[in-house]
Structure 1
Amino acid sequence: MLIRLDHSSPAPLGDQIAAAVRGAIGDGTVRPGDRLPAARALADSLGVNVHTVLRGYQRLREEGLIELRRGRGAVVAPGAMSPGRARLVGGVRDLITEARSLGLSDEEVLNLVRTGLAGA
């Protein structure tokens, strides 16, 4: 799994790491049970702080995509969502990032989504 960061992007580096792993789950590059790189090793290879990697991993854990196990590291969760759902979660994150950059409130974003759903 290849992770590339765009240091000129307004997206936080931890979010970029999470998005890269989410994408790898989405395209089937990594599968349930696969181990992700150790946070320290990944941080060294990307030239970032280990806490940046851990923030990305924590986000994935909150989404139910990975499990963080002491002594075993980060592992793609056995019940990780389907590749399609992983892509959808990534799209939602992109929507949120874009909405924040435009200064939209949470309620405005929800209203946009509701309007889109009503028209679908």
Structure 2
Amino acid sequence: MSKQVIIFLFVALLFLAACRSDYEKEMEEVFSTEKNYAEKVYEIKIDEVNSEIAVYKFGKFISITYKPVEENEEIVGVYKRNHESGYDRMDDESGINGNEPVIRKAILID
């Protein structure tokens, strides 16, 4: 291989590594926000056990799905990325309807 091809491949790999994100920080931030929201609005405490966090459209949306112990219905909190202040909670699930998540994190205990 020529020297230019090797340099190009090296730069491309560095670029891809720099752009890569596992969204762990964003998922933790949104979970913490939803935890506070659930305590204030629903008067329940949630934790990562029996909840699912999913990232959609490469971080544009993050959803948290959880089911309170006494309830039959799941609660879904959907957050949309706001470039100025992190993520804002949406009023509905329209941002994720019909989309598959790119990352899903779930801790389920039966």
User: Under TM normalisation by the shorter chain, which class is it?
Assistant: under 0.3
Please identify the structure whose Cα radius of gyration is greater: 2
TM-score, structure 2 normalization: 0.26
Query: Which has the larger share of strand?
Result: 2
